[in-house]
Amino acid sequence: MRIKKNKYLRYLLVLAGLFSLILALAGKWQVAGALWVAIICLLPSVWVALRTSYLGLKIFCTTALITQVITAPVFYLQADRYAFGGHRPFGFTAMEALPIFLVLGLFLWLVACLVILCERVVGAPVQWADASLRAGGSALSAGAASRQTIFVIGIILLIAISLPVKLWMFEMGIGLTGAPSPQLPYRLSGILFYVFNSVIPLCIGYLYLKTHRKSLALALIISVYAVVIGLTAVSKGIVLLTIAPIIAFAWLDRRWAILGVSGFLVAFGVMVAAASREIVHISDGLTTGSFTGLGVLGTLVEVMARLEWSPEMLLIFADIAGRVEGFQGLLLASQFNPDTVGGAWAIFAKSINGNWADLGHDAMHLEYLGYTIPMGFYGVAASLNAWMLMAANQNLLMMLPFVLYAALTFVILEKMLMRIAHKYRLPLPLAQAVLFFVTLWFYTGPGTLEFRVLFTLSIVFGLLPALRLGHISQPVRIAME
């Protein structure tokens, strides 16, 4: 596959060239150099990944390239804001980025090559163009088109039900990212957190998928809802999770008005969620707590009053890319000494299952940031790429276990998800959305409980025979469809 045959890579190179020209005219040669170091080192892995049938691998490698192309130049442009010069010196020359991106690029390239090898040995996943997937998708899409009102009402009802609960959760300090929740009976704190911060947004995204996806008003309602619940949880991730389906399908369907409005609101929501932490989070240096006495509306007003409006706020999209993985996180991870937290193998075990290794909250932060932070907060990059850089910093061969781990995960995950889509005749956009969501979770939190559950469920439902409801009468089955 040649780069010139892929229009998106061609667009990337053209935009990078234009941006580099602007930087050169402004005298920012080091920034332009860092940009091209990232592109040259990471592009080969994307090139190889695009030759495979595994969409998850393409998503992973492309995400790494996009996030670094955005965040590395912004990091260089904001050199005065780098707060770790005494702990992790950095001179902001383009060549200093080269060792980081060389290791990351080699890792991604090896993963892509191993996936290609696995594809030749065990075969490709069920093809996306498979006739049964097309038939299932067409049937469901046609049904959605004829019952637009039902799905819209379902979205409105979910929003109407969850908003009062989220407002109450905020007042009670339940589900606030970075702050401990009150101890409620029957594990209600955890149940409420996952249901209203993850399950409900995913259900709204699924129902939105079943609509025509043409309504600007519906997209606006969901986007505003995402901003509100992001504020109630002081979480940028929840804002992105809720609006992501709107933006993704607006791009695919070429609904530019919806894309523009939702893109603006996701930027605003991320900015508000990040700024609200300065109001909601309280700490005495050892423990953390939350202050919600202003309420959601009062907190929003206070956030808006504290914001210092400037042209630099246009760089909010760099913060969004950094929410997945920023260059500063890779820089700090690349200088990490794994021996201070139990060794490289402990880090590898942690990336598979967070319960297999206790690296020590204070030890991790002392080595990574140079100082400790209160329990309840976590300021260490935890993406698969960051774990790999931490473990391989003193021994490059430690990259190999991560290569094997990542490649097997991509192959198993996509094969199982494609089996599920084939068995249950799921629509193609839904299968793609699920794979995209799980892949990004693997990217940002490979050893977390959430990813392990999603990965295990995909294996279980992929291996089990399809559940048949043949005893249901034809009219009931049609009504359920």
Number of Cβ atoms within 10 Å of the Cβ of 456: 11
User: What pLDDT sits at residue 287?
Assistant: 66
Q: Is residue 375 part of a domain?
A: no
Q: Is 281 helix (H, G, I), strand (E, B) or coil?
A: strand
User: What pLDDT sits at residue 150?
Assistant: 86
Q: Is residue 403 part of a domain?
A: no
User: What pLDDT sits at residue 107?
Assistant: 97
Phi, psi of 289 (to 5 degrees): -155, -170
Task: Report the sign of the C-alpha dihedral through residues 154, 156, 159, 162, in that order.
Answer: negative
Residue 175 domain boundaries: 131-293
User: What pLDDT sits at residue 284?
Assistant: 63
Q: Is residue 265 part of a domain?
A: yes
Query: Which residues have C-beta within 8 Å of that of residue 364, sequence separation ≥ 6?
Result: 341, 380
Number of domains in the chain: 1
CA distances, 24 to each of 27, 259, 299 (Å): 5, 31, 42
User: What pLDDT sits at residue 127?
Assistant: 56
DSSP string, 52-94: SS-HHHHHHHHHHHHHHHHHHHHHHHTGGG---TTTS-----H
Q: Is residue 423 part of a domain?
A: no
pTM tops 0.85: no
Distance CA 34, CA 392 (A): 22
Q: Is residue 247 part of a domain?
A: yes
User: What pLDDT sits at residue 286?
Assistant: 61
Residues in the chain with pLDDT values less than 50 = 1-5, 128-144, 469-481
User: What pLDDT sits at residue 473?
Assistant: 41
Query: Can you name the residues that pair with 281 across neighbouring β-strands?
Result: 290
Distance CA 382, CA 446 (A): 8
Q: Is residue 184 part of a domain?
A: yes
Q: Is residue 477 part of a domain?
A: no
Distance CA 132, CA 417 (A): 14
User: What pLDDT sits at residue 479?
Assistant: 43
Q: Is residue 426 part of a domain?
A: no
User: What pLDDT sits at residue 4?
Assistant: 45
Query: Which residues have C-beta within 8 Å of that of residue 278, sequence separation ≥ 6?
Result: 306
Number of Cβ atoms within 10 Å of the Cβ of 225: 25
